[in-house]
């Protein structure tokens, strides 16, 4: 018994996928600028419901493109996001991806404060970088802490990509983000999300930054 | 505006999530042995439909536990799976996680053969390891190649975790796996899947291996 794949050409696989997605998605509420991001999220998740749940501030896409073109760093909440983000397109503009969750000082402080490593890592990144793209795919506590630090003026993100997944605080953290003022964000409604979603949004933005 | 998370204690967050999942899942077709794996997949995806789509051979859980206890390697198709898998529990038994997709020799050969890096990486891993747990979360071409190598006798997996995601060949590759004979596997029906699904299955198995 064998199955012959339609194609083993990476570029063709992606193009074929994008055709299927555009066809099956049908009518949608997204702008032409937002659509490539939605498409790439559906591509990464095979989940149209998740794609349709995305929310953008009107300035989000341009803020992301500008941050990437200015060589601003990408802050990933977990290593799965860190390794998934495509590096060459960011590096072309001088940008790098950072993830602090496994840093020894972060682990030590989280233990001392009896809190999550995600919270402590968020504080560390906020101290180090202004204008960064925050890609949060896993930890609701990271997103909640980032929202708090934006309100106190301790964090100045260029764009927040807040798509943590899960049953405890994930949907709530994203609802809170969706009501934030004064900061560009991309998020989604509900419990779904995850590292591949955060990765695909960053990668869609860096493609837009490189192409335009 | 603030939102106070229910808890910031990692252990409590996980326990609370697992309670919600068991409650909302209700009746299901899985055995007591399979259930912790299903639960962890739902935990990672917040997707009950995905959890319910899982398929196990009757020997899959025990094959996974035995492979881990014997220190067999875990072969990851992509780096997101490689970094997501929890290492300490595997290392306790002498096991390691390997991913060859970005090896220079793999990249070179894929270019030469005009095929995917996933296929070439699968061949390399099959040459190196017998009895490994294969964790395929991303690349249908890796899974299709592995199934072919099992049929020709060139690959001897201890367990195949085949949960690639996507629109081109993913569902087909998993359907083919579901009809395989003579090899323990965990897979799912349909397009959904992904790195966090593969990761959560490996992590659920290593928890079982460490606990029992």
- The mean pLDDT value for A34-61 works out to 97
Is residue B4 one of the residues assigned to a domain?
Answer: no
ipTM of the complex: 0.93
Nearest chain B alpha carbon to A22: B167
Is residue A146 one of the residues assigned to a domain?
Answer: yes
Identify each DSSP E strand in chain B by its residue range. 54-56, 74-76, 97-98, 133-136, 159-162, 185-188
Edge-to-edge strand list for the sheet holding B159-162: B54-56, B185-188, B159-162, B133-136, B74-76, B97-98
Which percentage of chain A shows pLDDT scores above 70? 95
Of B7, B116, B148, the CB nearest to A8: B116
Task: Give the pLDDT score at A70.
Answer: 98
- The mean pLDDT value for A152-157 works out to 97
Which percentage of chain B shows pLDDT scores above 70? 95
Within 8 A by CB and 6+ apart from A111, the residues are none
Q: Do B169 and A5 touch (CB under 8 A)?
A: yes
Rounded Cα distance, A117 and A121, in Å: 6
Of B6, B166, B168, the CB nearest to A169: B6
Nearest chain B alpha carbon to A43: B166
Residue A120 structure tokens: 């402590």
- B98 catalytic, yes or no? no
HEC profile for A25-40? HCCCCCCCCCHHHHHH
Q: Which of B39, B40, B43, B57 is catalytic?
A: B43
Number of domains chain B is built from: 1
Is residue A173 one of the residues assigned to a domain?
Answer: yes
Beta-bridged to residue A185, according to DSSP, are A160
Residues on chain B touching A21 (C-beta within 8 angstroms):
167
Name which of B166, B176, B177, B178 to mutate to probe chain A: the one with the most chain A Cβ atoms within 10 A of its Cβ.
Answer: B166
Residues on chain A touching B86 (C-beta within 8 angstroms):
none
Is residue B200 one of the residues assigned to a domain?
Answer: yes
Is residue B167 one of the residues assigned to a domain?
Answer: yes
pLDDT digits (tens, 9 = 90+) for A78-103: 999 999 999 999 999 999 999 999 99
Is residue B16 one of the residues assigned to a domain?
Answer: no
- The mean pLDDT value for A6-32 works out to 86
Rounded Cα distance, B129 and B68, in Å: 14
pLDDT digits (tens, 9 = 90+) for B76-135: 999 999 999 999 999 999 999 999 999 999 999 999 999 999 999 999 999 999 999 999
Q: What is the CATH number of the domain that holds B125?
A: 3.40.50.10230
**Is residue B158 within 8 Å of residue B137, measured between CB atoms?**
no
Is residue A27 one of the residues assigned to a domain?
Answer: no
Q: Do A2 and B148 touch (CB under 8 A)?
A: yes
- Indicate the pLDDT class of residue B1, thresholds 50, 70 and 90: very low
Q: Do A46 and B83 touch (CB under 8 A)?
A: no
Residue with more model confidence, A15 or A84? A84
Range of the structural domain that residue A143 is part of: 33-211
CA distance B84 to chain A (A): 6
Is residue A117 one of the residues assigned to a domain?
Answer: yes
């Amino acid at each position: 018994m064998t199955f012959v794949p339609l194609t083993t050409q990476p570029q063709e696989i992606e193009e074929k996928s994008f055709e299927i997605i555009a066809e099956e998605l049908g009518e949608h509420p997204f702008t032409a600028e937002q659509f490539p991001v939605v498409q790439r999220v559906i591509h990464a998740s095979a989940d149209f419901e998740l794609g349709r749940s995305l929310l953008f501030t009107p300035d989000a896409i341009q803020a992301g493109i500008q941050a990437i073109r200015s060589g601003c760093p990408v802050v990933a909440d977990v290593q799965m996001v860190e390794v998934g983000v495509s590096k060459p397109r960011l590096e072309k503009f001088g940008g790098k991806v950072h993830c602090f969750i496994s840093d020894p000082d972060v682990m030590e402080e989280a233990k001392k404060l009896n809190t999550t490593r995600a919270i402590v890592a968020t504080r560390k990144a906020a101290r180090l970088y202004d204008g960064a793209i925050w890609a949060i795919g896993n930890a609701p506590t990271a997103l909640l802490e980032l929202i708090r630090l934006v309100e106190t003026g301790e964090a100045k993100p260029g764009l927040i990509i807040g798509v943590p997944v899960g049953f405890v605080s994930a949907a709530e953290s994203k609802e809170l983000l969706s009501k934030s003022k004064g900061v560009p964000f991309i998020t989604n409604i509900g419990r779904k999300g995850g590292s591949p979603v955060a990765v695909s949004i960053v990668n869609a933005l860096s493609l837009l930054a490189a192409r335009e």
